[in-house]
Amino acid sequence: MGFVTDQERALADLLVSVMHAREQEGARISRILHDEVGQVLSAAGLQLDLLRMDLDDNVGASPARITEIQKVLEQAVAQVRDLSYELNPSVVERTGLQFALDRLIGRHRKTFAGSIRLLFDPSVRVELERATALFKIAEQALENVVQHSQATQVEVLVKSSKQGATLEVRDNGAGFAAGQPPGLGIQMMRYHAAKTGLRFSIASEPERGTIVRAICRALKPFSGSIAVGTPEGTPRIED
């Protein structure tokens, strides 16, 4: 590996600053959506519910019309909650790595023409800081796949291996040639890995897809506050 130039270091610092500012702004908007917009919509729905009960004994279409308005408000509340969730940078801390990845993939399924699936080994335990880094790497990898790869199949795997807890994002897309200058997304994935001591690599060939891999080589002892919980029935992934 070569030395990092002053220009590369300055670019990395700039990227970090931009990402930090974006996360802070996302957290602020998330709080507004959850604490203000969501509460106003919920209060409006409650007032409509009270009004509907007052009108139940009256003849006419008013109660039915109010019920329809309530359904629209309920949809708006659900959408606000989803957006608040997606913008919150502490999503892994609040919900765990598996659930955060599941929601991330669900969001991409709405716009991605191919198939995306998540395989999560229930034996995996990752401390919070590294779990957050794994999520951000997966998030950026999926963005790259959806926008640039022309893939039709994507797999996100979180598994236990001899090397440690491992994240892999695999696609069957266009890939890229060795030596091609890394784009912004790859640089940000490398940053998140380096910041938390993850072993990071990308394997890709033209027309044969890409594998993004991040490995936690040494984990701290497990504690309930940082466990990544998984429901029963989740498939175990073997090496």
Number of structural domains the chain divides into: 2
Distance CA 156, CA 124 (A): 14
> Are residues 68 and 106 located together in one domain of the fold?
no
Answer yes or no: is pLDDT of 142 > 90.
yes
> Are residues 83 and 110 located together in one domain of the fold?
no
Residue 238 belongs to some domain of the structure: no
Residue type, 227: A
Residue 235 belongs to some domain of the structure: no
Residue 179 belongs to some domain of the structure: yes
Distance CA 76, CA 69 (A): 11
> Are residues 126 and 34 located together in one domain of the fold?
no
Where is the domain boundary, 39, 64, 87?
Answer: 87
Higher pLDDT, 70 or 165: 165
90-123 confidence digits (pLDDT tens): 778 888 999 999 989 988 898 899 999 999 998 8
Write the CATH number for 207: 3.30.565.10
Please report the pLDDT score of residue 56 as a whole number.
Answer: 65
> Are residues 71 and 177 located together in one domain of the fold?
no
Where is the domain boundary, 87, 103, 129?
Answer: 87
Is the dihedral angle over the CA atoms 116, 143, 101, 126 positive or is it negative? positive
pTM: 0.64
Of 47-56, 62-71, 89-98, 200-209, where does the model show the most confidence?
Answer: 200-209
Please report the pLDDT score of residue 60 as a whole number.
Answer: 57
> Are residues 76 and 97 located together in one domain of the fold?
no
Domain range enclosing 204: 92-226
Residue 34 belongs to some domain of the structure: yes
pLDDT-derived band at 233, boundaries 50, 70, 90? very low
Residue 231 belongs to some domain of the structure: no
> Are residues 162 and 178 located together in one domain of the fold?
yes
> Are residues 121 and 195 located together in one domain of the fold?
yes
Distance CA 67, CA 75 (A): 13
Residue 38 belongs to some domain of the structure: yes
> Are residues 66 and 142 located together in one domain of the fold?
no
Task: Locate 60 and state its tokens.
Answer: 């006419």
> Are residues 156 and 181 located together in one domain of the fold?
yes
Answer yes or no: is pLDDT of 238 > 60.
no
Answer yes or no: is pLDDT of 17 > 60.
yes
Residue 100 belongs to some domain of the structure: yes
Contact 86/196 with Cβ under 8 angstroms? Answer: no
> Are residues 16 and 105 located together in one domain of the fold?
no
Please report the pLDDT score of residue 85 as a whole number.
Answer: 63
Using the 8-state DSSP alphabet, how is residue 2 labeled?
P
> Are residues 23 and 108 located together in one domain of the fold?
no
Residue 12 belongs to some domain of the structure: yes
32-60 confidence digits (pLDDT tens): 566 666 666 777 777 677 776 766 666 55
Sequence-distant (6+) residues with CB within 8 A of 214 are: 133, 134, 137, 166, 167, 189, 193, 198, 199, 200
> Are residues 154 and 107 located together in one domain of the fold?
yes
Where is the domain boundary, 61, 87, 113?
Answer: 87
Q: What percent of the chain has pLDDT over 70?
A: 63
Task: Please identify which residue in the block is written with the tokens 């200058």.
Answer: 181
